[in-house]
Amino acid sequence: MTLGTRRSQVTTVLLDRALEVLPVFRLSDSADERALQYVPESGGRWRVLPAPGDRLPGTFDQDVYVELLHRFHEADCPEDGALTFTLHSFLRTMGRKADGRTYEQLRAALARLERTTLESTDAWFSAATGAPATLSFTILSAVVIERRRSGDREQLALFPSLTANEPGDARVVLSPPVRANIAAQYVTTLSWTRYQQLTSPVARRLYRLLAGLRTESGGRWRVPLDRWAEQLPLSQRYPSHLQRVLQPAHEMLVASGVVRSAAFRQEGREWWVEYAIK
């Protein structure tokens, strides 16, 4: 999509299903620079490696990622993976106030999506080969943000399609592995409106994850609570702490119609979480 193009009203988001069932985004924006590691039940190993001096992607980055894929679908999935937009319009579509702080947040998030390495050892599924793949990639393969000169901004009032207080234009490129899975229709489909209505980052991640597991779940999903915490991921480890974090998100998912029910069950010394997915 080019600058100034009128946006169509696409209400769905297509996400790489293989990526959705793996942990990428911390459900906090803490300054955690440690690698995130996860071992799927099917085997292999998955690691999320932050760039030197940067933290792992967090809740704001998760929302930026979903909006990027929303725009990718709106733009009819361009073969080169390139998207262009103003920072101002991007933040407004995310439902965020556009000011100096959020502009910097967005720049930092886009940079993290370009610089955070996702490392799969037979963990991320490649639709092209029909098997788990061993590779390293990033969500974005290129990010360029051009700040407008003050003189240019003064002229923007002459052009109604542009925004006078916009400090920069961005051009990003979605990475080839993610594009390849989407092109092969190995996707998770989200309602963009429903995602926006879920105000909790944990509820948004649960929505993404359960949508990714819907095909293989048969409408029901049951998993040990500690494994679920690793897959989301959550930093809490005690069952009582995990339940306090998850319960409000569960209530939000039920109220929004994402799931029919969500419950915790104890069997012996082990806790489980169960979902009936709509």
Give which of 233, 145, 192, 212 is closest to 11, Cα–Cα: 192
* Domain assignment of residue 22, given as a range: 12-191
Enter the tokens of residue 230: 């690793």
213 and 108 fall within a common domain: no
Report yes or no on 273 lying in a domain. Answer: yes
108 and 182 fall within a common domain: yes
179 and 126 fall within a common domain: yes
134 and 257 fall within a common domain: no
225 and 151 fall within a common domain: no
pLDDT digits (tens, 9 = 90+) for 49-59: 999 999 999 99
- Reduced 3-state DSSP string for 222-257: EEEHHHHHHHCCCCCCCHHHHHHHHHHHHHHHHHHC
91 and 152 fall within a common domain: yes
Give yes or no for residue 71 having a pLDDT over 60.
yes
Report yes or no on 163 lying in a domain. Answer: yes
Report yes or no on 102 lying in a domain. Answer: yes
34 and 156 fall within a common domain: yes
Please report the pLDDT score of residue 217 as a whole number.
Answer: 78
Report yes or no on 132 lying in a domain. Answer: yes
pTM: 0.89
Please report the pLDDT score of residue 160 as a whole number.
Answer: 44
Please report the pLDDT score of residue 271 as a whole number.
Answer: 98
Mark which of 175, 191, 207 sits at the end of a domain: 191
pLDDT digits (tens, 9 = 90+) for 153-163: 444 444 444 44
Give yes or no for residue 229 having a pLDDT over 50.
yes
72 and 210 fall within a common domain: no
- On whether the CB atoms of residues 192 and 251 are closer than 8 A, the answer is no
C-alpha–C-alpha distance, residues 11 and 51, integer Å: 33
Give yes or no for residue 150 having a pLDDT over 50.
no
212 and 253 fall within a common domain: yes
Give yes or no for residue 10 having a pLDDT over 90.
no
Give the residue-averaged pLDDT of 214-237: 91
C-alpha–C-alpha distance, residues 1 and 77, integer Å: 10
Given CA atoms 211, 215, 221, 227 in this order, what sign does their dihedral have? negative
pLDDT digits (tens, 9 = 90+) for 173-225: 999 999 999 999 999 999 999 999 999 999 999 999 999 998 787 889 999 99
224 and 180 fall within a common domain: no
Report yes or no on 156 lying in a domain. Answer: yes
Report yes or no on 7 lying in a domain. Answer: no
The pLDDT-based confidence of 33 (bands split at 50, 70, 90) is confident
H or E stretch at 122? strand 117-126
123 and 155 fall within a common domain: yes
Mark which of 169, 191, 213 sits at the end of a domain: 191
Please report the pLDDT score of residue 167 as a whole number.
Answer: 67
Q: What is the CATH number of the domain that holds 259?
A: 3.30.1370.30
- The partner residues of 46 in beta bridges, in order of sequence, read 38, 120
- Residue corresponding to tokens 């240019």: 152
For the chain, the domain total comes to 2
149 and 208 fall within a common domain: no
Enter the tokens of residue 159: 């052009």
C-alpha–C-alpha distance, residues 254 and 207, integer Å: 11
pLDDT digits (tens, 9 = 90+) for 116-133: 999 999 999 999 999 999
Mark which of 170, 191, 212 sits at the end of a domain: 191
C-alpha–C-alpha distance, residues 131 and 125, integer Å: 6
Report yes or no on 2 lying in a domain. Answer: no
